[in-house]
């Protein structure tokens, strides 16, 4: 296979945009596997990289590189030291590549490894025909989940952990921000027995999707005051749990003001600026709240859980996937997202 080439999406220059071009096909090192990408999905960070946003710039090591981290792939070749994975296996890449030796890695928390290397950010990712992935960051699927669903396990895992931490059973849940992560969280919360799910969002397409996924109440945050809407829906108490999935400036403050005393708030959206708390005593200190942040999926318990939820048909996330483009039409795919029309968008490298 050596010296062969492949087509890939490449971030070549420190400016907005992606190229679609021919690059050498990678070769696996002894502890890596070579995979053929069946399907890849565009994540919020891939959009920031496309725009060349300062947050994205801070995440990457060098140019040029191949973005993308959400994928479903088939193993083509394994390095000499790889024992547990065989060619032909259907796999997903875990974005978080742990070092294996730091405090977190040796205490059951490799997903927040101190020396974390991020697939598709620090090393070449999956927006290509082929990719190499370290064997320790490969999740082998055990069901026949179709590629277009399997490639969403990675973000879906973040939503599942968010709902697990929010613990919405029998409570009112506010989901603030209805991008893919918030929408997945709504679908999981329905199955988790949330008493009332209130979804807040500024994009009308996404508000509709929130309804489709099972939100009981939708709040158009362009027009309505989210805090007032939540208080109205909860007899003036506030929501027992809140998932912040927008990353919007000021969103954490709004979410804190919506939380019932003694409630739980989970922050999933990467804040696009400093996080502020408006009224420190009523919104924070006197609430006796529990605040949780998350970074990725537990390896690999979360993966097993999300695969089972989707393979058993317990949660249906198909409505969130609004568009699929051949990978070569990456510019159109990005335009569909940036226009606000598309929600989750996938790329097919073989189309
Ligand atoms: Zn992602
Ligand atoms: Zn580590």
3-class secondary structure for 244-284? ECCCCCCHHHHHHHHEEEEEEEEECCCCCCCCCCCCHHHHC
Residue 114 covered by a domain: yes
Residues 13 and 145 reside in one and the same domain: yes
Residue 50 placed within a domain: yes
Ligand 2 center to residue 35 CA distance, Å? 24
182: CATH:
3.40.50.720
Which numbered ligand comes closest to the C-alpha of 105?
2
- Both 121 and 228 in one domain: the answer is no
92 vs 5, 140, 277, CA distance in Å? Answer: 22, 7, 38
Q: H helices of the chain, where?
A: 44-51, 54-59, 147-150, 153-166, 180-191, 204-213, 226-233, 251-258, 280-283, 301-311, 330-338
pLDDT digits (tens, 9 = 90+) for 228-248: 999 999 999 999 999 999 999
Q: Considering only CA atoms, which of 226, 159, 158, 208 is closest in space to residue 186?
A: 159
Tell whether 20 and 59 lie within a shared domain: yes
307 domain-assigned: no
3-state SS assignment for residue 11: strand
Read off the CATH number of the domain in which 327 is found.
3.90.180.10
Measured in Å, residue 137 CA sits from the centre of ligand 2 at 13
Looking at the structure, do residues 97 and 23 belong to the same domain, yes or no? yes
Q: Band of the pLDDT at 265, cuts 50, 70, 90?
A: very high
218 and 102 both lie in a single domain: no
Query: Do 188 and 268 lie in a common domain?
Result: yes
Is there a single domain that holds both residue 143 and residue 172? Answer: no
pLDDT at 325: 98
Is 305 inside any structural domain? Answer: no
Same domain, 109 and 24: yes
Is the residue at 299 inside a domain? no
CA angle 347, 349, 351 (to 5 degrees): 95
Q: What pLDDT band is residue 1 in, cutting at 50, 70 and 90?
A: very low
Number of separate domains in the chain: 2
**Together in a domain, 223 and 203:** yes
For residue 40, the ligand closest to its alpha carbon is: 1
Per the structure, the complete domain to which residue 125 belongs is given by 5-152+317-348
Distance CA 302, CA 234 (A): 31
Q: Which ligand is nearest to the CA of 98?
A: 2
Same domain, 204 and 126: no
Question: 3-class DSSP state for residue 37?
Answer: strand
Q: How far is CA 80 from CA 101, 150, 199, 260, in A?
A: 22, 27, 49, 55
Going by pLDDT thresholds of 50, 70 and 90, the confidence category of residue 57 is: confident
Partners of residue 131 on adjacent β-strands: 35
Q: Are residues 145 and 247 in the same domain?
A: no
Note whether residue 221 is domain-resident. yes
Within-domain flag for 308: no
Q: What is the reported pLDDT for 183?
A: 98
Residues with CB under 5 A from ligand 1 (ion): 43
- For the segment 175-220, what is each residue's pLDDT rounded down to a tens digit? 999 999 999 999 999 999 999 999 999 999 999 999 999 999 999 9
User: Tokens 């999933």 sit at which residue?
Assistant: 268
Please, which residues have CB within 8 angstroms of residue 348's CB and are 6 or more apart in sequence? 39, 324, 325, 326, 327
Residues 280 and 202 in one domain: yes
Instruction: Note whether residue 304 is domain-resident.
Output: no
Ligand nearest to the CA of 102: 2
Number of the ligand closest to the Cα of 154: 1
Q: How far is the CA of 102 from the centre of ligand 2 (A)?
A: 4
């Amino acid at each position: 296979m050596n010296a062969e080439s492949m087509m890939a999406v490449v971030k070549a220059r420190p400016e907005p945009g992606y190229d679609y071009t021919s690059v050498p096909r990678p070769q696996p090192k002894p502890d890596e596997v070579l995979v053929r990408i069946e399907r890849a999905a565009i994540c919020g960070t891939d959009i920031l990289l496309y725009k060349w946003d300062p947050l994205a710039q801070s995440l990457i090591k060098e140019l040029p590189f191949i973005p993308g981290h959400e994928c479903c792939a088939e193993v083509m070749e394994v390095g000499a030291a790889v024992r547990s994975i065989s060619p032909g296996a259907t796999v997903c890449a875990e974005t978080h590549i742990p070092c294996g030796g730091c405090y977190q890695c040796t205490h059951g928390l490799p997903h927040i490894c101190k020396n974390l290397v991020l697939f598709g950010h620090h090393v070449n990712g999956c927006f290509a025909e082929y990719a190499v992935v370290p064997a320790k960051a490969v999740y082998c699927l055990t069901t026949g989940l179709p590629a277009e669903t399997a490639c969403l396990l990675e973000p879906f895992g973040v939503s599942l952990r968010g709902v697990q931490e929010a613990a919405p059973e029998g409570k009112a849940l506010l989901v603030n921000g209805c991008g893919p992560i918030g929408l997945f969280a709504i679908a999981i919360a329905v199955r988790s027995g949330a008493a009332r799910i209130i979804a807040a969002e500024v994009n009308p397409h996404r508000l509709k999707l929130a309804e489709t996924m099972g939100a009981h109440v939708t709040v158009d945050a362009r027009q309505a005051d989210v805090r007032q809407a939540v208080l109205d829906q909860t007899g003036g108490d506030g929501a027992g749990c809140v998932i912040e999935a927008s990353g919007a400036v000021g969103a954490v403050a709004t979410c804190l003001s919506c939380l019932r005393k003694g409630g739980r708030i989970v922050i999933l959206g990467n804040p696009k600026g400093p996080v502020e708390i408006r009224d420190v005593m009523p919104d924070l200190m006197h609430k006796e709240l529990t605040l949780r942040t998350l970074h990725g999926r537990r390896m690999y318990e979360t993966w097993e859980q999300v695969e089972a939820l989707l393979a058993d048909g317990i949660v249906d996330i198909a409505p969130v996937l609004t568009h699929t483009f051949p990978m070569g039409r990456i510019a159109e795919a990005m335009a569909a997202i940036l226009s606000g029309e598309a929600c989750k968008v996938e790329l097919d490298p073989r189309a």
